[in-house]
């Protein structure tokens, strides 16, 4: 069966510090991979998605970036965090192709102080 | 531009009664709709979906209804149970697109 791992579960970082969140998927090949963010009191906002190694689509201009160095690995990064980057970050995967449900990891609670 | 809207931020229902969660969308190109359930500090879990060629899909206690002319879908949970207390998100996608657009979520509370 397929599983998705996302870490760390919680993170407290000072403003201006770098960020690296990692997500890996097991039990499937060539998945679509996604990073979403849920800000306090808001819905799920798509940040990045990837349909293959090295292929990244950005949905929202911001100081975050994403990379997909391997088929089942997706990394969310920032060089300098802002207070507004605080939120709940969720990685997800789906079977390649439209009309497939997304399967989410357990998320990372990021607090920028 | 919020293409998928859940206008009720919260809903409270008595245990055993029916819970009805609503969702509206503006993009007529959406052809696949999903509902997710989310507990605090966890990722959303997929509940049920419906294609635009159908108007109803049922899975146990969960039924999703789609009204394309009104650009409206709803999730019915019957009977409601305490474990159903969570935030529910509706989501939609366009054929050929590889991504989902989510609503803001509705917090459902089931009272004993």
Which residues on neighbouring strands pair with residue A51, listed in sequence order?
none
Mean pLDDT estimate for chain B? 94
**In Å, how far is A41's CA from the nearest CA of chain B?**
8
**In Å, how far is A15's CA from the nearest CA of chain B?**
23
φ, ψ for residue A18 (rounded to 5)? -80, 165
B86-94/B101-102 β-pairing? antiparallel
Digit-coded pLDDT (tens) for B30-68: 999 999 999 988 899 999 999 999 999 999 999 999 999
Mean pLDDT check: name the lowest of A23-32, A43-52, A55-64, B18-27: A55-64
Q: Do A92 and B43 touch (CB under 8 A)?
A: yes
- Cα B65 to Cα B72: distance, rounded to the nearest angstrom: 8
Q: How many residues does chain A have?
A: 113
Q: Are A96 and A28 in contact (CB under 8 A)?
A: no
Choose the mutation target among B7, B43, B88, B90 for the interface with A, i.e. most A CBs under 10 Å: B43
Q: What per-residue confidence (pLDDT) applies to A12?
A: 97
Q: Do B98 and A44 touch (CB under 8 A)?
A: no
Query: Residue B76: which pLDDT band, with cuts at 50, 70 and 90?
Result: very high
Mean pLDDT confidence for B12-35: 96
Per-residue b/e over B9-42, b at no fewer than 16 CB within 10 Å? eeeebeeeeebbbbbbbeeeebbbbbbbbbeeee
Digit-coded pLDDT (tens) for A2-40: 899 999 999 999 999 999 999 999 999 999 999 999 977
Q: Which of A55, A60, A65, A7 is nearest to A33 (CA)?
A: A55
Q: Do A98 and B49 touch (CB under 8 A)?
A: no
Nearest CB among B43, B89, B94 relative to A106 is that of B43
Q: What per-residue confidence (pLDDT) applies to B21?
A: 98
Contacts of A101 in chain B (CB under 8 A): 34, 46, 49
């Amino acid at each position: 069966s397929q599983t998705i791992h996302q870490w760390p579960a919680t993170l407290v970082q000072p403003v201006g510090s770098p960020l690296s969140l990692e997500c890996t998927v097991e039990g499937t090949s060539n998945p679509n991979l996604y990073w979403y963010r849920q800000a306090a009191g808001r819905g799920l906002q798509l940040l990045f998605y990837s349909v293959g190694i090295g292929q990244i689509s950005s949905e929202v201009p911001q100081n975050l970036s994403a990379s997909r160095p391997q088929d089942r690995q997706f990394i969310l990064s920032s060089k300098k965090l802002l207070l507004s980057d605080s939120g709940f970050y969720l990685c997800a995967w789906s079977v390649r192709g439209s009309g497939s449900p997304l399967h989410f990891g357990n998320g990372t609670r990021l607090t920028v102080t | 531009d919020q293409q998928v809207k859940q206008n009720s931020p919260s809903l409270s229902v008595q245990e055993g009664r029916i819970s009805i969660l609503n969702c509206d969308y503006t993009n007529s190109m959406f052809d696949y709709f999903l509902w997710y359930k989310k507990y605090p500090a966890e990722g959303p879990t997929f509940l049920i979906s419906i294609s635009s060629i159908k108007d109803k899909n049922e899975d146990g206690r969960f039924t999703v209804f789609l009204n394309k002319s009104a650009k409206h879908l709803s999730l019915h949970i019957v009977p409601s149970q305490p474990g159903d207390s969570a935030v529910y998100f509706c989501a939609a996608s366009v054929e050929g697109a590889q991504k989902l657009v989510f609503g803001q979520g509705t917090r459902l509370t089931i009272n004993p």
